[in-house]
Amino acid sequence: IDRTFKALQIETEFMKEHGRKPNKTELAKIMGLTIEQLLALVDCNSVHISLDELVTDDGNSLLDLIANPEMDIDFDLENKKEHVQLALSYLTDMEQELIDKRYQQDLTFTAIAKEHNVSRERIRQRTTRTHRRLRELIFKSHVSTMGALIVEDIK
């Protein structure tokens, strides 16, 4: 694009000085290019395609096919949510309850421990084990090519 712009500038200056457009040989010489390089430059910049031009059989335009970064972000977020939801469904009832109380209800280890008549440390250990198991399940869900979660005795 820079070379094309430079060629247009040179052409304009040449017209001002000589009262005519330069021929291809003159333009190539001024730009320090061979005729072949100049012709390749002209060819590269002569093809223009409208973004509204239909390019697929089902009627999508080129603009429809250009990636929308916001849609990628939305898709990635939805994809991650699906992996987490799927992994959560494979947790035991106790593990699901622990995750719910800790992150949905925002309870402390101490509060959860009181409800279950166990020590705060025991709840912390269970939470750590649940996090590890959840990470493994999410990883397996992500790696799975079929999208189905294959759970091997993760305990």
Quote the pTM value: 0.46
Whole-angstrom Cα distance, residue 152 to residue 147? 15
Tens of pLDDT, residues 94-136: 999 999 999 999 999 999 999 999 999 999 999 999 999 988 8
Same domain, 81 and 137: yes
pLDDT computed for residue 95 by the predictor: 94
Query: Does residue 73 share a domain with residue 44?
Result: no
What's the distance, CA 52 to chain centroid?
24
Is 62 part of any domain? no
The total domain count for the chain is 2
Instruction: Give residue 92's domain range.
Output: 69-143
Residue 148 lies in a domain: no
Domain-located, residue 150: no
**Do 73 and 139 fall within a single domain?**
yes
- Residue 72 pLDDT: 59
